[in-house]
Structure 1
């Protein structure tokens, strides 16, 4: 199978040839790390098996896209050929290659650095090994199946980095110059500060947001940095076999109840995940919102649910003002309206470019001008 032209084409698409990451992208066989994957179909998922469609496998593996490899507890690698899932939440994937390279770029990795990366399929680990040599790379994941599969696939490529099964938010298995996480966290784990050399850099995303956080460890054991102007989002860290799904009771009321307050919004209907700066501001205030949407003909509905509170807004077409219903201990749609007010008044939101300060105890504070958020 001639995969090299596909990998070279991917490298040409996502990175300049003078970059030290170009050779890694052009020489690592991504398809070997993603032999099977889940593809979205309507509200559900269908299994794609690479060996059954070689052309489709090459096209998918060397496109600049994320490939979902686990939905809830269903692994693509262990599912029967032709499997179909009625629904479910992605719990592991092979990250979009350009985003991987950007995260590594934000880390400012030098030739002598020892780095900790997250495992997933192992493709990101392979890029780090190709760039640095495998003896400078440690790869961790909470999922033993993923670590085992990635270890075997890396070994087949002659790469034998240190690999560990561990919760990324807990103690880490070494001391590093760089920590690059392709799962999101909130807040930055204290264990990262303890495992990072003074002057070393951590790169991650804040859970539920499109915010890439970079910070350099200071002599007092804390770290300082910023929210990059770049955008990126990852699945949040898992601490077991699956994520918790706490919005079930909220959903019962949110679907049809009138709620405690009803009003007409002044803005067109917005699904917050479509506007990362707006969503990020909302998530900093109310972390862990469950967002849902539905369209029936011209009727569009958006739901927000968070820890006993819910909001539902419905509009016909794209120009009419939506009617919002809210209930519970906090007013989610009203909070969204305030963020959009700020955006309209100022022309931008303060999240991107914000300064980051992390105490040795892990308290993370974002500031820009007179705006402040504590994780």
Structure 2
């Protein structure tokens, strides 16, 4: 019971198996597929949504039902719809909400597809890339959406205009959510076999890197910029007992890189495939060092009716599609 009142995320489902269905002492491996999100983050996302009395709100990704509960207390049941792709999650959340006297509309559906209504606010507790067309179709003119971009820590807020576009910004805030799923099963990495094959392989191009090895996945700003610049790169990282750091970058186009060094020494970098992924990564790090920042946070955003996100700040421009 006390865990539910701590300001931390609680993993409730791993590889499609919910904690309710796990045997006592069972240890599951794989990626989390649902959680009860950090309560403070839920509140921040709702604040970004600029919720107001009388607004019809879509809570996208029911999870434990916590965000739906907050919205129902604030707005009343009739103004809240909560959806999730997993039928067990929606069923269990609806039962929990009922026990505390809350009855928002809870629907099992794919958040990437048609939505069950029209809304003044869409607040997503899952990450997407690009923005699903159905979101813009379901959002009323003047309505506002809040979401994270998949594989980044970028929170996008945008208001829909009469022409079907939405305009806003990348907030000077950060969060990371699981990406949307089209089914209730586990997430599957398509690059696991590739990683095993190239883990210790010599590259076509071997040279010394410019900067120390870092864990790209833990450096949220760098990871976000890498995803926007070269989408689809997966990363791995290890540090052994002697302090040797090794990082891998992989892409389904066959490109890969491995950088390894003792501590903060400049690494030996192996690369192969059509692109030099570590060079792309180091170019971003050079920009960061030379400029003192990366241009993503605070950038302006325009979202086309097809869900493509155009991003710019100063002279820098990017497209998230």
Q: TM-score, normalised by structure 2?
A: 0.96
Distance 2:234 2:30 in 1: 14
Query: Could you report, residue by residue, the CA deviation over 1:274-303 in whole angstroms, capped at 9, with x for unpaired residues?
Result: 221111110112323222111221212111
Q: Which residue of 1 aligns with 2:101?
A: 158
Aligned pairs (5 A) from 1:38-53:
none
Q: Which has the higher contact order (CA 8 A, sep 6+)?
A: 2
Mapped partners of 1:249, 1:286: distance in 2:
21
Aligned residue number for residue 281 of structure 1: 225
The residue that corresponds to 1:311 in the other structure is 257
Distance in 2, matches of 1:137 and 1:360, equals 24
Which residue in 1 is equivalent to 2:152? 209
Question: Which whole-Å CA distance do the structure 2 matches of 1:63 and 1:161 have between them?
Answer: 24
Contact map agreement 1:70 1:91 (CA 8 A) in 2: yes
Cα distance in 2 for partners of 1:242, 1:88 equals 8
CA distance in 2, matches of 1:78, 1:232: 29
Tell me how far apart the structure 2 counterparts of residues 237 and 147 of structure 1 sit (CA, whole Å). Answer: 15
Deviations 1:114-151 (A, max 9, x none): 10002011111111111111111000001001011001
- State the 1:220 CA deviation: 0.1
- Counterpart-to-counterpart distance in 1, 2:277 and 2:73: 46
Determine the C-alpha separation between the residues in 2 that align with 1:322 and 1:253.
21
| Contact 1:115–1:177 under 8 Å retained in 2 | yes
Structure 1: how far apart are the matches of 2:32 and 2:273?
28
- Residue 71 of structure 2 is aligned to residue 71 of structure 1: no
Contact preservation (8 Å) 1:312, 1:324:
yes
Question: 8 Å contact 1:140–1:168 — kept in the other structure?
Answer: yes
Q: 1:111, 1:173 → 2: CA distance?
A: 21
| Residue in 1 that maps onto 2:244 | 299
Structure 1: distance between partners of 2:27 and 2:193: 27
- Corresponding position of 1:181: 124
Q: Shift in Å at residue 105 of structure 1?
A: 0.3
- In the TM superposition, 1:1-375 aligns within 5 A as 57-58=1-2, 60-85=3-28, 87-117=29-59, 118-240=61-183, 241-297=185-241, 298-307=243-252, 308-317=254-263, 319-375=264-320
Q: What is the CA distance between 1:304 and its match in structure 2?
A: 1.5
TM-score, L = length of structure 1: 0.82
CA distance in 1, matches of 2:87, 2:158: 29
Where structure 2 has 5 or more consecutive residues not aligned to the other structure, the ranges are none
More helix by share: 1
1:8-48 Cα shifts (integer Å, max 9, x gaps): xxxxxxxxxxxxxxxxxxxxxxxxxxxxxxxxxxxxxxxxx
* 1:162 Cα deviation from its structure 2 partner: 0.7
Separation in structure 2 between the aligned mates of residue 293 and residue 368 of structure 1, nearest angstrom: 31
Cα distance in 1, alignment partners of residues 305 and 234 from structure 2: 31
Structure 2: distance between partners of 1:288 and 1:361: 20
| Distance across 2 between alignment mates of 1:261 and 1:134 | 60
1:229-267: CA deviations, max 9, x gaps?
011110000112222320023212331101111121111
- Tell me how many residue pairs correspond in the alignment: 316
Shifted more, 95-104 versus 300-309: the winner is 300-309
In the TM superposition, what is the alpha-carbon distance from 1:167 to its structure 2 partner?
A: 0.8
Long gaps (5+) in structure 1: 1-56
